[in-house]
Amino acid sequence: MTVTKNNTEKVLNINNVNPLIKNVEYAVRGKLAIRAEEIRTDLEAGKGNYGFSKVVSCNIGNPQQLNQAPITFFRQVASLCDNPDLLKKENLPLVSQLYPSDSIARAQTLLHSIGSVGAYSHSQGVPHIRNTVAQFIQERDGHAADASHIFLTQGASSGVQTLLSMLTQNEKSGIMIPIPQYPLYSASLALYGATPVNYYLDEATGWSLDINQLTESVTSARKQGTDVRALVIINPGNPTGQCLTADNVRDIITFCHEQRLVLLADEVYQTNIYEPEARPFVSFKKALMDHPDAEVREGVELVSFHSISKGMVGECGRRGGYFECVNLDSLVLEQIYKMSSVSLCPNLHGQILVDLMCNPPRLGDASYESYSGEIKTIYESLVRRSKKLEGVFNEMEGVSCQAAQGSMYLFPQVTLSDKVAAAAAKESMAPDAFYSHAMLEATGVCVVPGSGFGQKANTWHFRSTFLPEEHLFDQFCSDLEKFHSSFLEKYRD
Ligand code: DCS
């Protein structure tokens, strides 16, 4: 074969990259977020003529980007693990004045089991830390967990991708995903070439999940020849914030049993629960173990995901998480292990944070008071901010917003006029993208248009976090109110 040289064309170019990669879309860091970064750079350089001085990134659940303080105990242990010299005998007298005794003891224990944070660990994650996770799950659910079925990951994202890739046999392989959904799912399915099988959450009833809707969706996909293999549930929901009832969780498990589906339970927001009396978090693992039918308990294949990025921890940049496998075929577990070993191991800083999240200071420990105080402060502030923003949205003309029972987002529906639709079409944009772009240019607030998550045809939404700092929150809300009414005036039919 002759190789013709054509110096004007790159060997790897946009016409010959993996076509599946070209199909991937991820709106959380899409066009709008890129424009927001441009504006941020302009503002920092004193360039441009904007009516605001700062970009507020409400497009992503990234609490520390918006100055949420890290949990002190976590960072103390992490810093000691990073700099083990501080634990040397000669330094301990001084270090003990700066670090509480339990943070020193924890770092010693972790380093004893890890060795150095600079070394690769076991591909599945440090065994000691997987034991901590198993203990955490047992305390949470009242049912034993098996550390050998737990995989530590680089955030929940990499675990979700591992499972979705395992489940994709060919393009007929179907995975049920909620609409609206967090676009990690649609993006990964596009990448692996699997078929997304949509089921719709019901906005009118607080984004609830109806089993009939699941049945209709799986039945019609199978009729069309899709080999539906798994069901993804995000609970609490992203972008929708709903928290499923215990009955609903049990019925979903029964549905998976009847339809022979693997259940992927994305539970990264399990501690972002804002109506704990009415809507407590019920894990799928607990509901499975409590299921009245032994065939279901022993049959349904469940993988549940958790992360250090969310909750009150918010350590997104450290990239830590885990997934627990229940009732999976042992040969499949071996393949998961093999795939984990291809990327050697999840990073050690993330693994350490998983240990700390799953085993925080307990009553009686030196750090307990400060730890629980910090958690409570963040939690209570999230509750206040979610309620405040929900109220602001519901006061706006043409906007309706369901309460966030959990997670970090509100997903209001906006009625947009024909004039907006026409102006948006001129810019080749969906009306909600047009609205969100206008919001960014007017206020510096960056949200994500509903089209990035999927929504019922001819409805328009956007997703905003409620993470801006509380002392700036009134200003943030009033900027949004002002923008919304002037936008409506401008485009009134
Ligand atoms: N699952 C859900 C439901 C999420 O919302 C996220 C992140 C992840 C998994 C993955 O997170 P980690 O990989 O960091 O564990 N949420 C994105 C979002 O919508 N905003 O910020 C990131």
- DSSP-derived secondary structure for 271-289: T-BS-TTTS----HHHHHH
Query: Is the beta carbon of 307 within 6 A of some atom in ligand 1?
Result: yes
What are the CB-based long-range contacts (under 8 Å, 24+) for 369-375?
370/72, 370/73, 370/100, 371/71, 371/72, 371/73, 374/69, 374/71, 374/72, 374/312, 375/71, 375/312
Q: Tell me, in angstroms, the distance from the centre of ligand 1 to residue 349's CA.
A: 18
**Ligand 1 pocket, 324 CB below 6 A?**
no
Ligand 1, atom nearest to 234 Cα: 3
- Ligand 1 atom closest to Cα of residue 237: 3
Q: How far is Cα 244 from Cα 373, in angstroms, rounded to an integer?
A: 28
3-class secondary-structure state, position 305: strand
Q: Can you state the angle between helices 368-395 and 473-490, rounded to 10 degrees? A: 20
Instruction: Assess contact for 360 and 332: CB atoms under 8 A.
Output: no
pLDDT at 29 over 80: no
Say if ligand 1 is within 6 A of residue 267 CB.
Answer: no
Q: Report whether residue 238 contacts ligand 1, using a CB cutoff of 6 Å.
A: yes
| Preceding peptide of 127 cis, ω within 30° | no
Distance 214 CA to ligand 1 centre (A): 23
Q: Which atom of ligand 1 lies nearest, measured to the CA of 238? A: 3
Examine the pLDDT at 28 and tell me if it is beyond 80.
no
Residue 322 near residue 153, CB atoms below 8 Å:
yes
Residue 200 near ligand 1, beta carbon < 6 Å: no
Q: Is ligand 1 within 6 A of the CB of residue 402?
A: no
Could you tell me the distance, in angstroms and rounded to a whole number, from the CA of residue 316 to the centre of ligand 1?
9
Kindly tell me if the per-residue pLDDT of 5 is higher than 80.
no
Q: Residue 481's pLDDT is what?
A: 96
- Rounded to the nearest angstrom, the distance between the alpha carbon of 182 and the centre of ligand 1 is 8
Greatest alpha-carbon span in the chain:
76
Classify each residue of 269-296 as buried b or exposed e, where b means 16 or more C-beta atoms within 10 Å of its C-beta: bbbbbbeeeebebbbbbbbbbbbeeeeb
- Residue nearest ligand 1's atom 5 by CA: 238
Ligand 1 centroid to Cα of residue 157, in Å, is 7
> Which atom, in ligand 1's list, is nearest to the CA of 160?
9
Nearest to 326 by CA among 149, 132, 143: 149
Structure tokens at 267: 């539970």
Residue type, 201: L
pLDDT value of residue 26: 80
Global pTM value: 0.95
Q: What atom of ligand 1 comes closest to residue 448's alpha carbon?
A: 19
Query: Sign (positive/negative) of CA torsion 280, 283, 284, 287?
Result: negative
> Burial letters for 386-425: b for 16+ Cβ neighbours within 10 Å, e otherwise?
bebbbebbeebeebebbbbbbbbbbbbbbebbeebbebbe
Is the pLDDT score of 6 beyond 70? no
- Would the pLDDT of 7 be above 90? no
The confidence band for 30, taking pLDDT boundaries of 50, 70 and 90, is: confident
Return the ∠ at Cα 321 (arms to 318 and 323), rounded to 5°.
165
pLDDT of 2 reads 60
Asked if 313 contacts 379 with a C-beta cutoff of 8 angstroms, the reply is: no
pLDDT of residue 493: 85
Q: Which residue has the higher pLDDT, 225 or 2?
A: 225
Convert the pLDDT of each residue in 449-491 to its tens digit. Answer: 999 999 999 999 999 999 999 999 999 999 999 999 999 999 9
| pLDDT, the chain, mean | 95
Residue to probe by mutation, ligand 1, list 25, 163, 268, most atoms within 8 Å of CB: 268
C-alpha span between 304 and 265 (Å, rounded) = 5
pLDDT digits (tens, 9 = 90+) for 269-293: 999 999 999 999 999 999 999 999 9
Q: What is the pLDDT of residues 345-394, one digit of tens each?
A: 999 999 999 999 999 999 999 999 999 999 999 999 999 999 999 999 99
Whether 3 has a pLDDT exceeding 70, the answer reads: no
Nearest atom within ligand 1 for CA of residue 409: 19
Give percent of the chain above pLDDT 70.
Answer: 99
78 touches ligand 1 (CB under 6 Å): no
pLDDT in tens, 67-89: 999 999 999 999 999 999 999 99
Ligand 1 contacts CB of residue 411 (under 6 A): no
Residue 1 has pLDDT above 80, yes or no: no
Is any atom of ligand 1 closer than 6 Å to the C-beta of 321? yes
309 C-beta closer than 6 A to ligand 1: yes
Read off the amino acid at residue 239.
P
What is the phi/psi pair of residue 41, to 5°?
-65, -45
Which pLDDT does position 141 carry in this prediction?
A: 98
> According to the model, what pLDDT value does residue 67 have?
92
Could you tell me whether strands 399-400 and 195-200 are parallel, antiparallel, or unpaired per DSSP bridges? unpaired
